[in-house]
Amino acid sequence: MFVIRSMTGFGRGEVKTDSIQCIVEIKTVNHRYSDFIIKMPRELLPLEDRVRTELQQFIQRGKADVYITYTDISQNSFGTVTVDEGVVGAYFRAMREASERLGYRFEPEMSMLFRIPDAFAQFREEPDQEAVWKFLEPPLRTAAERLVQMREKEGEKLAEDLKKILANAQALFQIVKERSPYVPIEYREKLTARLAELMDHAPVEEQRIAAETAIFADKCSIDEEITRFESHIQQFYDTLEAGGAVGRRLDFLVQEMNREVNTMGSKASDITITNQVIALKSEIEKLREQIQNLE
């Protein structure tokens, strides 16, 4: 049996050595489909597809915000720094000429280099992607596993809430089911009494009453809706027990349950059934709201 998961959760993973630190944080929220938003350093962008493929093993549905930080303070990570002599020479010449025109003595100092735009150029080699992936994959998996643990824990709570709501709906539905056979019987009794009253208590033709009752019974019969609703309830329980990514299937079942209840309310000319249908629709709406949180 698979575990039911919520779509909301958070996971964090971290790996740290003397020179490298890599942190991965994943936050997921409700979403109709699977959507990954990955924020990572520019030099790690070539690994984005691998990160996405890895996460798809853990997240089947929901919006995931993934934050990756990768810090390399090793000597090689800084690359090489050179002075652009052409730029510096041009600035110095301009300053010397200006000093001579103004009658000042120009004495260049090394500190001036740090005030000259673009005086320094830094050259960094692209990191070895396989080496980077060896550091990135462990915290990525750790974050994803912790995320799944939280989603499963939340999923268990949601499943229990759904079962409670479904039990309430089932109790209301049972009243509808038990009440349904008595509706045409009471209609016949009221019709008989009404006709007798109108005909001043003269004998009423039973065949006519039976025909009118049959027409009414056929018009207000909700037997098929009851059978289908019972089937949907059982499928709902079975789906919860099976576990896994059940959100879409449960959402479909709730739509079908709501359709059957609406039909019951429109067909059954009975105040008791109408009241139970109203309450049933409220419970079904609660189911729908909770299901939106399931993967």
Q: What is the CATH number of the domain that holds 141?
A: 3.30.230
Q: Which of 107, 135, 151 is the last residue of a domain?
A: 151
Has residue 4 been placed in a domain?
A: no
93 and 131 in a single domain? The answer is: no
48 and 118 in a single domain? The answer is: no
Could you tell me the CA-to-CA distances from 226 to 169, 232, 240, 271 in Å, in that order?
13, 10, 21, 17
Has residue 3 been placed in a domain?
A: no
CA distance 140 to 137: 5
Considering only residues 30 and 111, tell me which one the structure prediction assigns the higher pLDDT. 30
- pLDDT value of residue 205: 67
Has residue 2 been placed in a domain?
A: no
114 and 219 in a single domain? The answer is: no
278 and 234 in a single domain? The answer is: yes
214 and 261 in a single domain? The answer is: yes
193 and 252 in a single domain? The answer is: yes
- pLDDT value of residue 127: 72
- pLDDT value of residue 214: 64
CA distance 29 to 295: 10
- pLDDT value of residue 198: 60
Range with the poorest average pLDDT among 48-57, 91-100, 186-195: 186-195
Considering only residues 210 and 57, tell me which one the structure prediction assigns the higher pLDDT. 57
Q: What is the pLDDT of residues 190-227, one digit of tens each?
A: 655 665 566 666 566 666 666 666 666 567 778 889 99
Nearest CA to 162 out of 12, 25, 294 is that of: 294
- pLDDT value of residue 79: 55
104 and 134 in a single domain? The answer is: no
The pTM is what? Answer: 0.72
Q: CATH number, domain at 270? A: 1.20.140
- pLDDT value of residue 203: 64
Look at residue 31 and tell me whether its pLDDT is greater than 80: yes
What proportion of the chain, given as a percentage, has pLDDT over 70? 82
Strand, coil or helix: what is 159?
Answer: helix
Instruction: Identify the domain containing residue 59 by its residue range.
Output: 9-75+127-151
111 and 67 in a single domain? The answer is: no
19 and 144 in a single domain? The answer is: yes
Considering only residues 33 and 114, tell me which one the structure prediction assigns the higher pLDDT. 33
Q: Taking residues 275-283, what's their average pLDDT? A: 95
Q: Taking residues 249-269, what's their average pLDDT? A: 91
Q: How many distinct structural domains can be found in the chain? A: 3
Look at residue 47 and tell me whether its pLDDT is greater than 90: yes
- pLDDT value of residue 254: 96
Considering only residues 59 and 99, tell me which one the structure prediction assigns the higher pLDDT. 59
CA distance 3 to 295: 11
Q: What is the mean pLDDT of the chain?
A: 85
* pLDDT band at 78; cut points 50, 70, 90: very low
Has residue 285 been placed in a domain?
A: yes
Has residue 209 been placed in a domain?
A: yes
211 and 269 in a single domain? The answer is: yes
Has residue 145 been placed in a domain?
A: yes
Has residue 56 been placed in a domain?
A: yes
Q: What is the pLDDT of residues 143-187, one digit of tens each?
A: 999 999 999 999 999 999 999 999 999 999 999 999 888 776 666
**What is the dihedral angle through the alpha carbons of 46, 48, 51, 57, rounded to the nearest 10 degrees?**
-130
Has residue 1 been placed in a domain?
A: no
* pLDDT band at 250; cut points 50, 70, 90: very high
Q: Decide: 36 and 52 in contact? Cβ < 8 Å.
A: yes
Could you tell me the CA-to-CA distances from 291 to 159, 177, 233, 285 in Å, in that order?
9, 26, 15, 10
160 and 195 in a single domain? The answer is: yes
159 and 285 in a single domain? The answer is: yes
